[in-house]
Amino acid sequence: MKILVTGFDPFGGASINPAYEAVKLLPDRIEGAEVLKMEIPTVFGKDEEVIRTAVEKHHPDAVLCVGQAGGRSGITVEKVAINLMEARIPDNEGKQPSDEPIKEDGENAYFASIPVKCMVQYIKEAKIPARVSYTAGTFVCNDIMYRVLYMIDKEYPHMRGGFVHVPYLPEQTLDLPEGTPSMSAEMIEEALEYGIRAIIENEEDVKTTGGEIH
């Protein structure tokens, strides 16, 4: 089994991105599965080009993308990606789309095909804060999750895909407001490792009650 794990490069003027810093720390094998690690650009569209090249070369069984969600206090495994690009800030090539679809012929939304709830369970059993998230935003994190699931829907039906958001690193919060949550790269890596174990060991997700009330 092969799992492709990606992390974004720094964006928004930052010099570091916790996503790829943690991905780099992952072992090359987990539970016998080969783990392929790569950095992808925080650029609408180019993110897909880089992943597509890797998928065509390595034929992974699953693609797990990882991105930063500054302000969140734990690991959040995303359930759904929406067909919308709405950028509050420019991406790393200055693109700032507004109210544009990611794919003209795509569904309004795609659900993750990795076992989202299982992943959260595994991570929480390791005593690391985690929950299911029902919004991946509208920036490049949602963009790549949607594009990967679109690829799966249109071309790679036997591949699974999904996305995990991770908090700031402690060093990123030095000049941010008191109480801004963070997590070490080592703990994020451990959480990702447990999440990957869940992907390897579970073809189907668990049936547990969840959701959000607003």
Q: How many CB atoms lie within 10 A of CB 126?
A: 15
Give the DSSP H or E segment for 89.
none
- Which strands, in side-by-side order, build the sheet including 160-166? 29-30, 33-40, 2-8, 62-68, 160-166, 75-78, 130-133
Residue pLDDT, tens place only, 44-57 = 999 999 999 999 99
Residue pLDDT, tens place only, 152-175 = 999 999 999 999 999 999 999 999
Instruction: Evaluate whether residue 213 is within a structural domain.
Output: no
Q: What is the mean pLDDT of residues 15-39?
A: 97
Instruction: Evaluate whether residue 24 is within a structural domain.
Output: yes
pLDDT of residue 105: 97
Contact 106, 186 (CB under 8 A): no
pLDDT of residue 206: 84
Bridge partners, 64 (sequence order): 5, 162
3-state secondary structure of 50: helix
Cα–Cα dist 90/96, whole Å: 5
Domain that residue 103 falls in = 2-201
Instruction: Evaluate whether residue 209 is within a structural domain.
Output: no
Instruction: Evaluate whether residue 207 is within a structural domain.
Output: no
Contact 93, 36 (CB under 8 A): no
The CATH number given to whatever domain includes residue 138 is 3.40.630.20
Instruction: Evaluate whether residue 193 is within a structural domain.
Output: yes
Instruction: Evaluate whether residue 214 is within a structural domain.
Output: no
Instruction: Evaluate whether residue 172 is within a structural domain.
Output: yes
This prediction has a pTM of 0.95
Hey, which residues are catalytic here?
78, 141, 165
**Helix boundaries (H) for the chain:** 18-25, 46-58, 116-125, 140-154, 185-201
Pairing of the two strands 62-68 and 2-8: parallel
Residue pLDDT, tens place only, 70-104 = 999 999 999 999 999 999 999 999 999 999 999 99
pLDDT of residue 214: 61
